Amino acid sequence: MPPETDQLFPKITQRGLDELRQRIGVPITDTLEPWCHEATRDNIRHYAHGIGDDNPLWCDPAYAARTRYRGIIAPPSFLFACSRIISGYVGGLAGVHAMWAGAEWTWHQPVRRNDEVLTEAWLKDLIEHETRFAGRAVQQIYHVKFRNQRGERLAEADSWCFRTERDQARELGTKYRDLKGKPPTRYSDEALAEIYRLYAREEVRGATPRYWQEVTVGETLPRMAKGPMTVTGFIAYAQGWGGLYIRANKLAWKQINRHSGLGIKNRFGIPDCPERVHWEPELAAAVGAPGAYDYGPERCSWLTHHLTNWMGDDGFLRRAHCKIRRHNPEGDYLVIEGRVIGKRVEEGRHLVEIEQEARNQDGELSVVGGGVVELPARA
């Protein structure tokens, strides 16, 4: 029998699961408003800069006016800022921890400057798992559709969170047992210089077309660096993305008053949002994580950034997927790699399929993913 532990947080109950299953397929109409209703110039730039993406197609009106779009468009992952549901705002199981863990996206057309973004969402499925992180876990999958103000389809996606018992993960989880007591990573100037060389060599394909005929199966994409992770970087993402529960003063009270299981008391005895796991190492440790860690949608956006850099202005990201494999605590850094695994012509579109993975400084797998890119073809 596992040792007895003091229960600090609510547990997953069968009654809670049964009530949550009643929501499957029911349109969600009562949720927090999105961080961004419109794709303004500033909203697009804040999101792009939040993921470290300086592509002028997103940020420079004069440059974007010379492209086939005739103006600024948003990076594909900007839509995370337009829906709390796609970003991990889950219902049910009050007080049970939620960790954003993956998504599958399909895009139909770009989000243009000043587009209004409208959404429909519903709970798609619940799947129970046995995990190393926390033992019993529930995968909570949502489906979201995105349209613009003209009713045109922009995108659709599935995203999922894992609901885990915080006490179980902290006391009995085995996923990060090897990290307990491990001193934090410290970087020499030489180690940092190697990471910074990847940043210096990062190529934004931009106005130079990448033609479908020029791509070969098996070729690799340029390696991309992300990190080393800092709380400053996590906050930079939250500024563009909006976070799920970051509220102040009366709005913070209204949120916690409405959702009784949401607030977790801080060291002053004040109920505060669970999102603090991204900037408070103590709370992260209390839920079983190795330290304050990055956001899941942030990491998904890094993978799509890798793809849009490679495809250039004349490419279009049709599909992408990612699955989170472990936390990225502050101090970690990632290297993203990609490889072309297929080419095809489908309904007149010249498509390239790419697989991706990212590993941290110790070679541990952080995220896997990939995408399907439509490229221009030579006549």
Residue 45 covered by a domain: yes
In a domain, 57, yes or no: yes
Range of the domain at 217: 14-175+186-374
For residue 266, the tally of other CB atoms under 10 A from its CB is: 14
Is residue 252 very low, low, confident or very high in pLDDT (cuts 50, 70, 90)?
very high
Is 4 domain-assigned?
Answer: no
> Are 212 and 376 a contacting pair, CB within 8 Å?
yes
Number of domains comprising the chain: 1
- Residue 333 three-state SS: coil
Task: Tell me the pLDDT band of 137, cut-offs 50, 70 and 90.
Answer: confident
pLDDT of residue 2: 39
Which residues on adjacent β-strands are paired with residue 137? 129, 164
In contact, 302 and 356? CB cutoff 8 Å: no
Q: Which residue has the tokens 């600024």?
A: 72
Q: ∠ CA 283-278-74 to the nearest 5 degrees? A: 160
pLDDT, one tens digit per residue, over 103-133 is 999 999 999 999 999 999 999 999 887 777 6
Residue 1 lies in a domain: no
Tell me, yes or no, whether 350 lies in a domain: yes
- Is 3 domain-assigned? no
Q: Per-residue confidence at 13, pLDDT binned at 50, 70, 90?
A: confident
Beta strand extents in 189-312 (DSSP E only): 224-226, 264-265, 271-272
Which of the pair, 216 or 127, is modelled with greater confidence?
216
Give phi and psi for 24, each to the nearest 5.
-60, 130
Provide the token pair at 60: 């420079």
What is the pLDDT confidence band of residue 379, given thresholds at 50, 70 and 90? Answer: confident
Q: Which CATH number covers residue 301? A: 3.10.129.10
Q: Where are the beta strands (DSSP E) in 68-196?
A: 97-107, 117-131, 135-148, 153-164
How much is the pLDDT for 3? 40
9 located within any domain: no
Q: 301 in a domain, yes or no? A: yes
pLDDT for 293-325, tens place per residue? 999 999 999 999 999 999 999 999 999 999 999
pLDDT at position 78 over 50 = yes
Give the global pTM. Answer: 0.93
> What average pLDDT does the chain have?
91
Question: According to the model, what pLDDT value does residue 290 have?
Answer: 86
With 70 as the cut, is the pLDDT of residue 180 above it?
A: no
Strand intervals (E) in 149-222: 153-164
Residue 88 tokens read as 């991990």
